Amino acid sequence: MTLWYLARGSGLVLLAVLTANLVLGIAIQGGWHPGTWPRFAVQAMHRNLALLAVVLLAIHVVTIELDPFVPVGWWAALVPFVSPYRPLWLGLGTLSLDLMGAVVVTSLLRAHLRPRWWRVIHWLTYLSWPVAVLHSLGTGTDTRLTWVFGFEVGCVGLVAATVIFRVARATRPRAGVRGLLMVAVAATPMAVLAWSTAGPLQSGWARRAGSPTTALASGGPAAARGQASAQVPFTARFLGSATSSPSGQGETITISGRVQGGAGGQLLVSLAASRLPDGTVTVDRGTVTYRPALGSQVYKGAVVSVVPGSLVLRLARGGGGAVPAELTIQGPVPATSVSGLLYFGAVPASQGGEDGGQDS
Ligand code: HEM
């Protein structure tokens, strides 16, 4: 599991570093200078960010390769579009790596190259970045998390704004052409947003993107490591935390954490509750989001009944049938650490629930 988190985390930090360096590079070219910083310090920062990106890329690729969940293969890390896992979208990551590799190698050999050649190859950085962004959106398990998607579109917005700044300060080409260019660049974040809404944010993207059916059926890394089957129904451990915050006349109780075993992933329960004068808390309504470890499926639903220590849930994923589930919680809520069990696909007989609502 650590490898998987490292792979995804390093990918996101890498994108942040590449974006920051690209923005810095374009801004410097456009004549921007940060306050009292000497020129060599800005250039050293540009170089060090590039080195950091190389280290992060190495971590990203090695952790992806060592993680048994995503069947990529070492060749696919160097040769674009040959991976059995999401060939196009992963291939764009590989293409970006190759382009960056060309820039790094020619920068090291700069003294032996004609400046014109070095500059032409250095321009490949501009190409490697959008290719990496498309890879991130199309391959990433976390694209459907609001903050991850917001971050990725934010990177596009930031680069677009910097390019507009650069074009606005340029004297060539003609003003009319520059105006058109700025409009086109300003439209890119919207285009990315529209494409993502029709593609990676849709349920079923994992299959369309070319995840092997074994990876889809396995239910994610937990199952791939043989810890438990992701066949529905399953019972898995839940580990997380529960917080409470005032909301209107009542309070909102948020229970969030990891599902260990079964299909793995993250579970979030949000309860709107009222506190009675005698101090007891009654739950008025609740919503649930369950995101199995293989992130193409998101189950959303409601809390249908609450008994002490247990929430009976009803979930559904886009286009799929309803799935009964139950979350039991041991100990008091709120608490920094809570644990319990998630019954997914069936509610235990003791609760008189439904059985085996298979949705796979
Ligand atoms: C400059 C190049 C690259 C950048 C900026 C980059 C960045 C990213 C980002 C931001 C993600 C999304 C992580 C998430 O959703 O949590 C990702 C996912 C991924 N990347 Fe890359 N990547 C690059 C190159 C590569 C290469 C060369 C490979 C080939 C081994 C690769 C394999 C993957 C895989 C398999 C995933 C999906 C992981 C998952 O969420 O399950 N990436 N990458």
Cβ 293 under 6 angstroms from ligand 1: no
Distance (angstroms) between ligand 1 centre and the Cα of 144 equals 15
Cβ 311 under 6 angstroms from ligand 1: no
User: What range does the domain containing 177 cover?
Assistant: 2-209
pLDDT for residue 208: 73
Residue 145, exposed/middle/buried by CB under 10 A (0-12, 13-18, 19+)? middle
Distance (angstroms) between ligand 1 centre and the Cα of 293 equals 16
Q: What is the mean pLDDT of residues 197-224?
A: 61
Give me the chain's average pLDDT, please.
82
pLDDT for residue 360: 28
Q: Which of 180, 209, 238 is the last residue of a domain?
A: 209
Distance (angstroms) between ligand 1 centre and the Cα of 319 equals 28
Q: Which of 209, 239, 266 is the last residue of a domain?
A: 209
Residue that is written with structure tokens 């280290």 in the block: 55
Phi, psi of 74 (to 5 degrees): -65, -35
pTM, two decimals, is 0.66
Q: Which of 149, 176, 209 is the last residue of a domain?
A: 209
Distance (angstroms) between ligand 1 centre and the Cα of 205 equals 16
Report if residue 359 sits inside a domain.
Answer: no
Cβ 142 under 6 angstroms from ligand 1: yes
What is the domain-level CATH number for residue 332?
Answer: 2.40.128
Report if residue 97 sits inside a domain.
Answer: yes
Report if residue 117 sits inside a domain.
Answer: yes
pLDDT higher than 50, residue 353: no
Distance (angstroms) between ligand 1 centre and the Cα of 64 equals 8
Report if residue 356 sits inside a domain.
Answer: no
Q: What is the pLDDT of residues 250-270, one digit of tens each?
A: 889 999 999 887 788 889 999
> Quick one: 76 and 43 in the same domain?
yes
Residue 218 DSSP SS3: helix
Cβ 7 under 6 angstroms from ligand 1: yes
Residue 115 DSSP SS3: helix
pLDDT for residue 227: 35
Instruction: Supply 350's token pair.
Output: 């003791």
Report if residue 260 sits inside a domain.
Answer: yes
How many whole angstroms separate alpha carbon 284 and alpha carbon 305?
10
Which one is predicted more confidently, 243 or 213? 243
Nearest Cα neighbor of 96 from 139, 56, 130 is: 130
> Quick one: 47 and 189 in the same domain?
yes
Cβ 296 under 6 angstroms from ligand 1: no
pLDDT for residue 178: 92
Q: What is the pLDDT of residues 295-334, one digit of tens each?
A: 567 888 888 888 777 888 888 776 566 788 889 888 788 8
Return all residues near 287 (Cβ < 8 A) that are at least 6 apart: 269, 270, 300, 301, 302, 303
Cβ 223 under 6 angstroms from ligand 1: no
- Structural domain total, the chain: 2
Report if residue 126 sits inside a domain.
Answer: yes
> Quick one: 196 and 300 in the same domain?
no
Percent of the chain with pLDDT over 70: 85
One-letter amino acid of 245: S
By most ligand atoms within 8 Å of CB, the mutation choice from 2, 4, 6, 8 for ligand 1 is 8
> Quick one: 170 and 306 in the same domain?
no
pLDDT for residue 1: 58
> Quick one: 240 and 177 in the same domain?
no
pLDDT higher than 50, residue 356: no
Report which listed range, 47-56, 102-111, 163-172, is most confident.
Answer: 47-56
> Quick one: 184 and 224 in the same domain?
no
Q: What is the mean pLDDT of residues 31-49?
A: 85
Report if residue 48 sits inside a domain.
Answer: yes
